[in-house]
Amino acid sequence: MSEQGNKGTAVVTGASSGIGAVYADRLAGQGHDLVLVARRADRLEELAEKLRYAYGHKVSVIGADLSDDNDVRRVEQAISADDSVTLLVNNAGLGGAQVVATADADVAERMIKVNVIALTRLTRAVLPGFLARNRGAIVNIASVLAFDTSFGGIYSGTKAYVVNFTEALQREVAGTEVKVQVVLPGATRTDFWELAGSDIDSLPKEIIMTADDMVDAALVGLARGETVTVPALADAAKLDTFLGARQAFYGSLHANKPAARYGV
């Protein structure tokens, strides 16, 4: 059974394996009912049955491909109409090291739909209810590659969107009891890499984190009220320095005349 009383319903996308499955397990253990969303409905139901038995909570499944517009709208309708939802984990994502010149345009579009559009629409689906009830949390899974384009600009670009979107969302909910968090995993051992056509074992083993450790750290960050959580970052002051430098840089980008170096 769960360690605590019911905390409402947590919606987890990309829940059939990897990071999403670990989130589902941990959140059920914390006292949440669950709505699990993923394309592989058979694996979802297998996980759901396991969690029902282990924790005694209600676990519902929605088989949906979040690159499909109709499926996204179906999930939107289900979660926006459910007043028991108190947590949304936007974990579903597609990866790949495609460069623009040789990328399959349909594959790139599918990645953008899952990583950006579905995440945005599902957030929009639950946020009004969270604000009305002054309760709830939204967790968006980005990547450290939001700050590095070496894995391909398409994937990196989608994750940079997730970071900016979530930081702006935090300002939007400031002063309420609604929490917003963006999580930036580094290399994490899941089947994501194989599906993206990459070999995680080509990386140094000392930088590869387990999904269990990643999620456990992210949940600690959420409990502490962190807006940006980087599980592998040892020195939190570096994040503050980075974010502060970025804000200071932004402040230098405005003037009523072009900079003198342009000679205009």
Catalytic residues: 155
Query: What gap in Å lies between CA 100 and CA 60, rounded to an integer?
Result: 38
DSSP-derived secondary structure letter, 105: H
Query: What gap in Å lies between CA 234 and CA 186, rounded to an integer?
Result: 13
Query: What gap in Å lies between CA 35 and CA 130, rounded to an integer?
Result: 16
Looking up tokens 């979802």, which residue turns up?
Answer: 44
Start-to-end CA distance of the chain, whole Å, equals 70
**Contacts made by residues 97-103, CB under 8 angstroms, sequence distance 24+:** 97/151, 97/152, 97/155, 97/196, 97/197, 97/198, 98/152, 98/154, 98/155, 99/152, 99/153, 100/153, 100/154, 103/152, 103/154
Beta bridge partners of 140: 90, 182
Query: What gap in Å lies between CA 23 and CA 62, rounded to an integer?
Result: 16
**Helix, strand, coil % in the chain, rounded to nearest 5:** 55, 15, 30
